[in-house]
Amino acid sequence: MVTVSVTTSAASTAAGSSAMTQTAVDTYGRLDVLINNAGIETRTGLLDTTEADFDKVIAINMKSAFFGAQAAAQQFISQGGGGLILNISSVHEDWPMPGNIAYCVSKGGIRMLTRTAGVELGAHDIRIVNIAPGAVATPINASTEADPAKMTALDAAIPLGRIAQPGEIADVVVFLASGKAGYMTATTVFIDGGIMQGSVGL
């Protein structure tokens, strides 16, 4: 495993992404898979999101993925043999979350990055796929998990009756990085326990 020490500001620049890619190549001789997994949220709506908050969310969530994908694709083409880019997106690339608008905008951008880049890079045998989890037991949901009333409501909204564990998302990452998913590109895999298909029953 290669470990790269990098700040969030560096990750959201073209130079920072190139440096991370080069570190991997210097360590292992080549790059085969990139996973873009940086993400933050502000839990603010259109009327109260500051410009600074918006810029930070877009830089970390979307700009880092864009330039990470660019650097990886350039390396894949240079070394030959294709490659794979996995973007950890969210159900909120498609599903609105009022009160968390910058996050939703960033994930919507990731959706179109994956679809457009997947078409552009197909001729180079480079695949790009989004993984879109629903609610997962990670630090980004810590405040919800700490509130029993919110957790009861959330679990009730999920057909499987619970939030996901990180390992369940990792299992899908491993599958997509295997040879068994070689025909998948320019698309999104949703792992949400069915929450996007929920209905109020009217």
pLDDT tens column, 155-187: 999 999 999 999 999 999 999 999 899 999 999
According to the CATH classification, is domain 8-194 in 3.30.70.20? Answer: no
Give the C-alpha separation, 170 to 166, whole Å: 6
| Annotated catalytic residue, options 66, 67, 76, 103 | 103
Query: What's the number of CA atoms in the CB half-sphere (13 Å) around residue 148?
Result: 0
* Residue 183 is among the residues annotated as catalytic for this protein: no
Q: In 3-state terms, what secondary structure has residue 79?
A: helix
For every residue of 166-184, DSSP letters joined together read HHHHHHHHHHHHSGGGTT-
List, for residues 129-151, the tens digit of each pLDDT value: 999 999 999 999 999 999 999 99
